[in-house]
Amino acid sequence: MPKKRWYHYLPLCGTVLLMLAPHPSLLYVLVDFHLQTLHQPILFGIHLTITYTLTFLAFSSLIVCVARDPGPVTDSGKQRSDRAHDDGDELELTEALMPDIDFSEPGKWCRKCWMPKPERAHHCSVCGRCVLKMDHHCPWLGSNCIGHRTYPAFVHFLACITLLAIYIAVISINGLLYAFSNPYTINEVTPVHEIFLAFTGILFTLVIGSFLGYHIYLSLTNQTTLENISPFMLLKHLPVLPSSGHSLSDPPLEPELSYTQRSLVKDAHGYVQMYNLGWRKNLTQAFGVRRRSGWIYRLWCGGASPGDGMTFPRNPKSDGVLARLADELVKADKNR
């Protein structure tokens, strides 16, 4: 992996700054309005507890996204050598170093980082490595990828920021309504802070909340961002094409497709979701816990996805759609 430079962490500093920026005004509003004007110490304590609990949870999942490896792709040959060493068996040097994989099979071997490429793993050109179940590369989280081991923490971070923004906006808007009704009983500076907080809360709710809604949809349908926005990833899942009668590769490559064939792939992408097993199983696969106490860990920082991140059950209905897509691509190639 290429070593990260100091400037790679500048967006992360911006993320932390944006998370902390509203708090001086928030403390001012809570103390001046709820404590000194309304004289409601219990309500003041409730607002303070909720806002800073959400802030603590957001920073917890942020630290997980930054510090945890999103999903390392290990060399299966090295793993087999280690297992053989533990069992007392001896392997030849070539067998120990070379992984048990067919290099000529498309999608099974990364030709950029020269590592085995498990199912749903992708190569990140910024990080210079393959990531298990890669969702996307996020510069705002320390120029790190969101993958198998960090996706739940990423969704947890978005949820905490959205809830915090909504809560701050509601507090501020209620304070503004009180200020319009009782202009002579409040500090004239307090509405300025409330306007700033209301605008910031609404802005963060719209931006981060929309992003959260999109990832909730991806979780319910068991997709990653790359799988959702890249229809041509279906090509590597197509069944074996006929050996003759067409000029396509096996599997077909995106650059060699005509406009008609590209349209067929995009239409099929709207119907087939390779790993959609139903929303319950999808959520279990993405956020499921293995023990009862795991819910505390999930609520604290999001945790990590269960499983090894290398094998995933597929939607049985997708095979028929992919077979029809392969036939249509071959027919369209013959009519060119």
Q: Is 218 helix (H, G, I), strand (E, B) or coil?
A: helix
Q: In this structure, what token pair is assigned to residue 173?
A: 């808007």
The residue with greater pLDDT, 320 or 206, is 206
Q: Identify the band that residue 115 occupies on the pLDDT scale cut at 50, 70 and 90.
A: confident
As a whole number of angstroms, the distance between CA 16 and CA 207 comes to 16
The residue with greater pLDDT, 82 or 237, is 237
Residues marked as catalytic: 138
Judged against a pLDDT cut of 70, whether residue 261 lies above it is answered with yes
Q: Identify the band that residue 107 occupies on the pLDDT scale cut at 50, 70 and 90.
A: low
Give the burial class of 171: count Cβ atoms within 10 A of its Cβ; 0-12 exposed, 13-18 middle, 19 or more buried: buried
Judged against a pLDDT cut of 80, whether residue 123 lies above it is answered with yes
Characterize 87-120 residue by residue with b for buried, 16 or more Cβ atoms within 10 angstroms of its Cβ, and e for exposed.
Answer: eeeeeeeeebeebebeeeeeeeebeeeebbbbbb
Q: Identify the band that residue 75 occupies on the pLDDT scale cut at 50, 70 and 90.
A: low
Judged against a pLDDT cut of 60, whether residue 96 lies above it is answered with no
Query: Pairing between strand 115-116 and 109-110?
Result: antiparallel
Judged against a pLDDT cut of 50, whether residue 305 lies above it is answered with yes
Q: DSSP per residue over 30-84, as a string?
A: IIIIIIIIS--HHHHHHHHHHHHHHHHHHHHHHHHHHHS-S-B---HHHHHHHHH
Q: How far is CA 241 from CA 78, 327, 328, in A?
A: 34, 8, 11
Q: In this structure, what token pair is assigned to residue 327?
A: 């036939």
Q: Identify the band that residue 186 occupies on the pLDDT scale cut at 50, 70 and 90.
A: confident
As a whole number of angstroms, the distance between CA 108 and CA 93 comes to 22
What is the residue-averaged pLDDT of the chain?
86
pLDDT digits 0-9 by tens, 39-52: 899 999 999 999 99
Share of the chain above pLDDT 90, in %: 53
